[in-house]
Structure 1
């Protein structure tokens, strides 16, 4: 049972149950009775049956509850392996026209390759990738039909020919495409920015012009904000979905409200396919390279969430967790559980230009983390594949006894591998995030009513 005090409703709590999926609003008095039920039952028979059904009162021992969660995890994990659609990403290039101070890829690539070498995927490798996709998942119904394009910067103007080739080869197979881009050269792809080709683009904007231009730095022209904004407008007018990401740390946390105002005044929120979300990156060691020295000025998760709770709902964060709880309340049904943190542990395949296959975007370029190779006629898998695909909350000791486990899925595996080891959990302030999301959801329903 997870009780969260509602800040805007004195004496009220939201109760969430960690393995039944129940969500309820209860009084402080009722919560106290539930907590003290072992010392005596003061409930009516009907109330007791309801509490038993929703899991807030249980006849199970603690050991039996832990075993029950482990069984749920095993069932969910088997289902994921059989039924969850496989995600495919083509890492078009390790090259980039930006020199962002917090880029995690640049140090990895320096270690793995000649730093002066231009690494762009070839047509031959693209042909092999499409063959590998069919080998990995022969059933078309179990393939995500949107291939992600990633980098480096995939949509460099000089990559136009290879991007056209990727689309030309993928379209007859039923694929469309989306890209993660810095947005600077997007105008060179304007005719390909449409629903049947590149249907969506994620673009990072780290603040209003003065701050963004000190963080998202073009390698030649330095300033990038104005050109990116113009390119976003062109893409939106083509009917393409644009999702803006804000990487937030101590240097730009106060930019979030300003950027929100900018998007409002500029009319971006009037586009149905425009959305914004933010990620907290302060102190995230595998995101920030060693030369990005700001650990001494880290902000806390609470600082980050305090800023966001003062805004309207336009800038999203922890969207998956938000939707899970919101939908459970709105649809009057239990929450959705997961035994893993993300698709990297259930069926994500990232193909890089060098013939490597990875499971997670945060480890690309590190050959030690490759789960396979597609260079030869048959895919050669490494031992890393099973480490990724076998990990779930049932295999992590700390998760097996955690009331949040089926909601958080054990946290990001990449971070556990970098910061500790693969058998650990990565909690990432989950209780703090959950409390903030609950306050936001409760405020939303209160405003609606």
Structure 2
């Protein structure tokens, strides 16, 4: 599509109009909002058409002066700090049915001292290419499982050497089984954020996330103990709940456990619901995100404390921002893999996307070769450039979708898995989600809101 220029301060009515949406509220009111400009109006439904015209006719907003290509050009000029996802080992003591890493988690190899030196050198090299610094970068350590007695000494060495090189921001993703016994060392190491996963009350969690060796043993109470210890030390904890039609009915019991621990009011704790879409084997069946939204909406009537959690459905971050009065965010990209993320793994691989880690078709280079000063091979460079170029301006169907700037084009990895091409969109049922959850989320009573912004790590079906 050829770029089109418009006079400064002017946005064509059709272009702005096509991004306007509304949801019904209580007491006969509507919320009308524009997904391009971030403007919103709340008032009587009888005046909805007039409100839409008001929102649509806005002029002079910086974000409404051009079209996607112009916004893409501006996005490309912006500075995007680098984020590194570091996988020192794929070995894991859990055997979760839906884990995207699949059979990789049976591999026990982990980075040794020389490997860690190569990782630090490769990070320096990649950061230098972007014009950024290690001090501005975020380093997330994950597995497999890295918070274990057999691996944690290596994590300490890795973090300390990155700190010596200038790194300052460190986070970890863990299944939480040994979190309590390592929490003090995590804190002393300078790791500030931890993500753990709990998939329901004890019976449900243990069924979905069983231990690999200790068959029948429970990890539930040990994880809760670890979260308590991390919060006591001042660490930020993101608790991910992977949801589908199997465990949604039991979430009321889980949120009661969180409340009993005092977490729902803790300013360093945030639990979020993450709908599952696929599993590694392809054997599990998941209902759509819109059906999960319907199930949750019904459950929240019986257990309103569920609204204390963040509902990480596609598009809802925009609605959360409108609700709190925060600046809405334009999503030119879906995630960091299409900006400046790099993943490095125990197989010496470098990848733009952590979902593709361990898979040759997604690899762009080798850690050891980068550390030795070698450039990316032509095929690796081509793959990297394709990832970095993917966004709403390059995925063709996004050009006519009003949800594009909330969506960012969807997950490239999942698009490729579904269609064979990462340049196709991975669409979500935004209109249906907003119809089902819009009023519920926007009108959540103040006493049930937890407005703490979700901080990294907010990774996918891991931990």
d(CA) in 2 for partners of 1:72, 1:27? 36
Q: Normalising by the residue count of structure 1, what TM-score does the alignment of the two structures yield?
A: 0.83
Q: Deviations over 1:132-180 (max 9, x none)?
A: 1121123455754431011111112200221121122022223242111
Which of 105, 115, 127 is residue 117 of structure 2 equivalent to?
A: 127
Cα offsets for 1:345-395 (capped at 9, x unmatched): 001111101111112222211111113222211242512211210111111
User: Residue 395 of structure 1 contacts residue 423 of structure 1 at CA under 8 Å; is this kept in 2?
Assistant: yes
| Secondary structure class of the residue paired with 2:98 | coil
Distance 1:148 1:355 in 2: 17
- Displacement of 1:424 in angstroms is 1.2
User: Residue 395 of structure 1 aligns with which residue?
Assistant: 394
Q: Which residue of 1 aligns with 2:451?
A: none
The Cα shift of 1:226 comes to: 1.6
> Where do 5+ consecutive residues of structure 2 fail to align?
1-18, 449-463
Greater C-alpha Rg = 1
Q: How far apart are 1:442 and its partner, in Å? A: 2.9
Q: Deviations over 1:14-53 (max 9, x none)?
A: 1222322211124433334577x8xxxxxxxxxx7x7522
Q: Distance in 2 between matches of 1:237 and 1:447?
A: 24
Shift of 1:70: 2.2
Q: Which residue does 2:148 correspond to in 1?
A: 156
Change beyond 3 A, Cα 1:289–1:123? same
Q: 2:248 aligns with which of 247, 250, 253?
A: 253
Structure 1 residue 2 corresponds to structure 2 residue 2: no
Is contact 2:34-2:40 (8 Å) kept?
yes
Asked whether 1:52 is paired with 2:57, we answer: yes
> Which residue of the partner structure matches residue 189 of structure 1?
182
**What is the match of residue 309 of structure 2?**
315
- The question of 1:276 aligning with 2:280 is answered no
Question: Who is 1:302 aligned against?
Answer: 293
- 2:156 touches 2:189 (CA, 8 Å); kept in 1? no
Mapping 1:196-275, distance limit 5 Å: 197-221=190-214, 222-275=217-270
Distance 2:169 2:21 in 1: 43
Q: What's the CA shift string for 1:48-70, capped at 9, x where partnerless?
A: 7x7522699xxxxxxxx9x9432
Q: CA deviation at 1:330?
A: 4.8
Aligned to 1:62: none
| Aligned ranges 1:79-94 → 2 under 5 Å | 79=77, 82-94=78-90
Helix, strand or coil for the counterpart of 1:427?
coil
- SS of corresponding position for 1:380: coil
In structure 1, what is the equivalent of residue 429 of structure 2?
Answer: 429
How far apart are the structure 2 equivalents of 1:248 and 1:326? 20
Question: Does the CA-based 8 Å contact 1:250-1:297 persist in structure 2?
Answer: no
Distance 1:295 1:140, change over 3 A: closer
* 1:101 positional shift: 1.3
Distance change >3 Å, CA 361–CA 9, structure 1 → 2: farther
Supply the distance in 1 between the matched residues of 2:56 and 2:242 (Cα, whole angstroms). 42
Shift of 1:340: 0.8
Question: Does structure 1 retain, via aligned residues, the 8 Å contact 2:314–2:407?
Answer: no
* Residues 171 and 194, structure 2, Cα contact 8 Å, conserved in 1: yes
Partner of residue 361, structure 1: 354
Indicate how the Cα distance of structure 1 residues 185 and 332 shifts in structure 2: closer, same or farther if over 3 A, else same.
Answer: closer
Structure 1 gaps of 5+ residues are 38-47, 57-64
Query: Per the alignment, do residues 170 and 127 of structure 1 end up closer, same or farther by CA in structure 2, a change over 3 Å counting?
Result: same
Aligned residues: 413
Offset from partner CA, 1:60-86 (integer Å, 9 cap, x none): xxxxx9x9432344234313xx40111
1:157–1:188: 8 Å Cα contact kept in structure 2? no
Contact persistence 1:91–1:150 (CA under 8 A): yes
Whole-Å separation in 2 of the counterparts to 1:132 and 1:309: 47
| Superposition map of 1:314-353 within 5 A | 314-318=308-312, 321-328=315-322, 330-331=324-325, 335-353=328-346
The 2-side partners of 1:55 and 1:31 are apart by 22
Report the counterpart of residue 44 of structure 1 in structure 2.
none
